Structure 1
Amino acid sequence: MTETLGAFALLAWLAYLVSRLLARRHLPELVGFLIVGALLGPSGVELISDQELASLRPLTEVALAILMFVIGERVSTRALRAAKWTLTTGATQYVLSAVLVFWATRAVGADRSVALVLAALAGAGAPMTIAHIVSSVKARGAYATGVVGTHAVSDALATTTFAAVLPIATILADQDADISAAVVDFVQLGIGGAVLGLLGGWFISRLGFQIETSGELLLFVLVHILLGWAVADWLEISLPLAALMAGATAASVSPEAFSLRLFRTVKSIEQPLYLLFFALAGASIHLDDLGGVGIVGIVYISVRVGAKIVGGLIGGLFGGLGWKTALRLGVNLTPQAGVAVGLAVLASEVLGTPGAEAATVVLGSVVLFELVGPLLVAKDLKGSSDEDESGSAASTQLELPGKVLIASSMATEIPEWLIDLAARWRSRLVVYQPEEPESDSVQNLLALCATKDVEVEFRPLRTESFTGAVVRTTAEVQADMVVLFAERPEGATSRLVLFPSERVARELTVPVLTFPIAMQGPPEPVQRTRRWPWLS
């Protein structure tokens, strides 16, 4: 095991160096991970053998689960409402790819079971590949986010469809058909993954909301993803689908502020996970598979690319995109990896010879799609990012806050100028501080706001955790701005610890205006004059 980890460390180091060289040439570093992995893997100099890759499989699966959990944010209900074309394009291109690939491969002589498996996998995408490209080229805007979401929708459809057609392919391949076992396989692979993801995402949302520190939140998520991996392995259900559904569920049912904090925390470790996953994925690529695709593989590749472009155009137009953007979208849907590879290997294990034939075609095409596709996607997303930045700079408008939360860790008199500003903005105020609603100061505040026609709500602060209380209240009242009156000790203070106002500002995504309240801090240390030893 030590030799395996040492070989992987060398592989990761070389992959990182090559990725940095490609980044200087404005090329996606993902290509460097894949190329170095392929050259040093079993099909190259065999720095890592197939047996060593198998021993590292648990690490790859856990990395895959964490990355798919992060991608689940892109297919949450909020993301789908923001970019409706994500769902229409994902479904349209998947159905079109499946139908056309089935009939085209059957026309050139492919067996029915082989054609059925290829049809189920043709629409699958590569959400992790696209997510990494979006991050590496620093693409921004709804289009870049929607492309990742479309790939994630495609993988979810591919997993559930494959689970449904695998029993049918088993019967068509003249294998020993067991109807009850086929139903169990469908439940485990498709429905089981979705149910596990829904439960896991809801559990993470409900309990993780109470965690304040980012380190503890990250540990909480990682522990439960490991638990989900163990459950998925024990029940033999789809881990990528479960992780994707968990991320989508957590992003959908959580308050927006916590959802942003949750995924921002997990994303802090995604770069090393990308290197781990794609370097090992590159090592798993067998370059000799390209020579074994045959006429069926050539037809599969050609028809899949055409169906992706046409499906992206049709689905994008239905979702409200312009025809130029929808046409570009189809090209960005061509990369394929991850889920398609795993399902193809499963088909070879279940179906025997027909499954091995289908797996050879899929794995051979993945080599091409993974080495060429990212270059095209990176070029397109880089251009779209520049367009979005230039367009947004010209149309940026400042919006006044509709609701302002005024919070204080101690009883504080709210300045009258702040209430005047709220009246000018026509903003609603929510005051949150440790006082009783019946106190004279609160009644005076309510009366002053009434005279200035400012709608105000007072909430008493009854918790010791000021940071967590402000973050939760901001999410509950959906505040557009937060004004803090927070304590700041005078004198010597350790900058290793953040002040409450600084912690609140880091946790929230809305503007935070802070007014420090001076408090007596520890005394300043005595400054001692240093002398040279020979002068003492």
Structure 2
Amino acid sequence: MEALWVYVSEQSQSMSTSAWTLLMLGVLLSLSIVVDTISRRTALPRISLLVLVGVAFALIQQGLLGGNAEPLNGLREPLINLALVMVAFLLGGELTLSRLKSTGPLIFALSAAVVIGSLAMVFTGLWLLDYSFAVALSLAAISVATDPAAVSEAIQESGKKSLAARVTLGIVAIDDAWGIIVFGLSMALLSWLGATSGGASLVHALWELGGALLLGTALGFPAAWLTGQLKPGRPTQAEALALMLLIAGLSSYLNVSALLAAMVAGFVIVNVSSHHTRSFSEIEQIEWPFLVFFFVLAGASLNLAYLSTALGLVAAYIVLRSIGRYLGGYLGVLAMRRREPRLNTDIGLALLPQAGVAMGMALLAAERFPQQGQLIVATVVTSTIIFELFGPLLVKRVMADTGKNDTY
């Protein structure tokens, strides 16, 4: 037995980096199956459980082993970027012209009110609490994003088909699009303010946004044409994955916003191609394994050295974002009261869940501003777990408060 233990130890020490990476990929996907089972039996959100798996890795790695190595070595950044590109692409696919016309001024006005409420409340509050401009603006931009999956699942479980349910689903369909745009503008502004050469930085900021629009359009139109020429199945799947890799790679190479480029490409395809559902359905089929890696890596990005420092910021962020969402929804409903008197003023509380896009923004902000990055990541990862645990409960409460005769 002792000889066997010595042999195993020697083999583990001599394990190559590629073998270790492949092993970790298999372990993480296996854990996702366990997490899915636990989620179904306990009603706990899968996303929060996956993030907790990453946090557990960080605790073991940093607390017990005393190191700070990444679980997937050099694959961390490309996997995160690819997962975010997929999410943004699918979000762009939700923005059909017919849907934008049908939602009308009601959903647009309420979503804008909630976005402005979150942005203003979080930024002003953190700024008054003496946090740096970069931290306050980054977290304010991140606060705009919502978790569409958690909100829609909670509404489905509530069984409500009211106006409030329809409006809430309409808001979350475009909420992350607002978040991506606001986050891109915020990062460009911070880059411009932090640069020594204002003119060159302004050009870079404009290119980061404008270049993303150009890249998304340039890739979206050929992809829309190609989608109609390919038969459903493996060719379409290869085309969809190739598009995601091209967006992620070219965005990084050209230094433009990958999230915005992917969203624009999705918007172009869904509104130009008559067979647009093929590409989006193929991405949905292969998206989950990448999201598993993304959420675990997001949790593993938590630096325990910053956790105690971030607790005050976490509490402030949760309170300010909650107040901002509530006030934004309250004022938005009041402004639209004459048009639609059936909406409850607490609809903003149904928009608290926050997950993938928010954590992706935090990781991107950490790469852009490493001095403040760990504090931002610690704040968003911790608050995301709380929002994902309690947010769906508030969604159900808001839906339950809706009148029984409030159908739409």
Same fold (TM over 0.5): yes
Q: Give 1:37's match in structure 2, choosing from 48, 51, 54.
A: 54
Residue 96 of structure 1 aligns with which residue?
117
Matched to 2:258, the amino acid is L
Deviation at 1:94, TM superposition (A): 2.7
1:260-282 residue CA offsets vs partner (Å, 9 max, x unmatched) = 34423332223333323222222
Whether contact under 8 Å (2:192, 2:202) holds in the other structure is no
2:190 alignment partner in structure 1: 166
Quick check: 2:92–2:263 contact (8 Å CA) kept in 1? yes
**Structure holding more helix per residue:** 2
Distance 1:72 1:103 in 2: 30
Root-mean-square deviation (CA, aligned residues, Å) is 3.5
1:527 aligned partner: none
Q: Distance in 2 between matches of 1:266 and 1:386?
A: 34
318-327 vs 260-269, greater mean Cα deviation:
318-327
1:67 is aligned to 87
Q: Which amino acid aligns with 2:183?
A: T
Per the alignment, in what secondary structure is the counterpart of residue 75 of structure 1?
coil
Distance in 2 between residues matched to 1:323 and 1:281, nearest whole Å: 40
Whether contact under 8 Å (1:22, 1:28) holds in the other structure is yes
Residue of structure 2 in register with 1:107 after alignment:
128
Q: Which residue of 2 aligns with 1:131?
A: 149
Q: Show the 5 A alignment for 1:466-477.
A: none
Amino acid at match of 1:289: Y
User: SS where residue 369 of structure 2 aligns?
Assistant: helix
- Opposite residue 117 of structure 2, the aligned amino acid is L
- Verify: 1:149 aligned to 2:173, yes or no: yes
Matched letter for residue 105 of structure 1: L
Q: Is the Cα contact below 8 Å between 1:198 and 1:246 reproduced in 2?
A: yes
The 1:278/1:183 distance shift into structure 2, 3 A limit, reads: same
Choose which of 383, 392, 401 in structure 2 pairs with 1:369: 383
Equivalent pair of 1:71/1:247 in contact (CA under 8 Å):
yes
Distance change in 2, residues 1:223/1:310 (3 Å): same
- Contact (CA 8 Å) 2:29, 2:289: kept in 1 or not? no
**Structure 1 segment 425-504 matched on structure 2, within 5 A:** none
| The 10-residue stretch of structure 1 (1-10 or 269-278) with the greater mean CA deviation from structure 2 | 269-278
Letter in 1 for 2:83: A
Letter in 1 for 2:242: V
One-letter amino acid of the counterpart of residue 271, structure 1: W
Following the alignment from structure 1 to structure 2, what is the Cα–Cα distance between the partners of residues 53 and 326? 47
2:346 to 324, 327, 341: 327
Percent identity, please.
22
CA distance in 2 between counterparts of 1:325 and 1:254 reads 38
Instruction: Please state whether the residue corresponding to 1:269 is helix, strand or coil.
Output: helix
Partner of 1:399: none
Paired residues of 1:27 and 1:375 also in contact (CA < 8 A) = yes
Partner of 1:204: 223
Structure 2: how far apart are the matches of 1:130 and 1:67?
11
Q: What CA deviation, in whole Å up to 9, does each residue of 1:386-424 have, x standing for no partner?
A: 999x999x99xxxxxxxxxxxxxxxxxxxxxxxxxxxxx
Q: CA deviation at 1:6?
A: 0.7
Distance 1:374 1:321 in 2: 30
Tell me the amino acid that sits aligned with residue 173 of structure 2. Answer: G
User: 2:4 maps to what in 1?
Assistant: none
- Letter in structure 2 aligned against 1:370: T
Separation in structure 2 between the aligned mates of residue 117 and residue 28 of structure 1, nearest angstrom: 26
Mean CA deviation greater in 286-295 or 136-145: 136-145
**How far is the alpha carbon of 1:147 from its aligned partner?**
4.4
Higher relative contact order (CA 8 A, sep 6+): 2
Q: How far apart are residue 35 of structure 1 and its match? A: 1.1
Query: Residue 147 and residue 35 in structure 1: after superposition, are their counterparts in 2 closer, same or farther (change >3 A)?
Result: farther
Name the CA distance, whole Å, in 2 between partners of 1:275 and 1:114. 27
Instruction: Please state which structure has a larger fraction of its residues in strand.
Output: 1
Which of the pair has more CA radius of gyration? 1
* Alpha-carbon offset, residue 371 of structure 1: 0.7
**Equivalent pair of 2:21/2:72 in contact (CA under 8 Å):** yes
SS at match of 1:293: helix
Partner residue in 2 for 1:187: 206
Among 53, 57, 61, the alignment partner of 2:77 is 57
CA distance change for structure 1 residues 360 and 59 in 2, over 3 Å: closer, same or farther?
Answer: closer
Kindly state the Cα deviation for residue 216 of structure 1 after the two structures are TM-superposed.
1.8
* SS class of match (1:245): helix
Which residue of structure 2 lines up, in the alignment, with residue 227 of structure 1? 246
Residue 5 of structure 2 is matched in structure 1 by none
Quickly say closer, same or farther: Cα 1:188–1:116, change in 2 above 3 A: same
- For residues 286 and 366 of structure 1, the distance between their equivalents in structure 2, rounded to whole angstroms, comes to 12
Give the direction of change, closer, same or farther, for the CA distance of 1:38–1:294 in structure 2 (3 Å limit).
closer
Q: Is the 8 A contact 2:150 2:353 kept in 1?
A: no
Structure 2 portions without partners, runs of 5+: 1-17
CA drift of 1:235 comes to: 0.6
1:331-362 per-position Cα deviation (integer Å, ceiling 9, x unaligned): 4235252343134214424xxx5xx1xx3443
Taking the aligned partners of 2:32 and 2:192, their CA distance within structure 1 comes to 41
Structure 1 SS opposite 2:43: coil
1:371-450 alignment to 2 at 5 Å?
371-379=385-393
**Separation in structure 2 between the aligned mates of residue 250 and residue 267 of structure 1, nearest angstrom:** 15
Counterpart of 2:26?
A: 9
Whether contact under 8 Å (1:102, 1:115) holds in the other structure is yes
SS in 1 for 2:231: coil
**Alpha-carbon distance, 1:116 to partner:** 4.1
The answer to whether the Cα contact below 8 Å between 1:76 and 1:248 also exists between their aligned partners in 2 is: yes
> Which residue matches 1:531?
none
For 1:219 and 1:138, locate their aligned partners in 2 and report how far apart those are by CA, in whole Å: 33
1:178 counterpart = 2:197: yes
2:101 to 81, 85, 89: 81
The alignment partner of 2:72 has SS state of: helix
C-alpha separation in 1, matches of 2:240 and 2:401: 36
Out of 14, 18, 22, the position equivalent to 2:39 is 22
In 2, the alpha carbon distance for the partners of 1:307 and 1:246 equals 31
Aligned to 1:50, what secondary structure does the other structure show?
coil
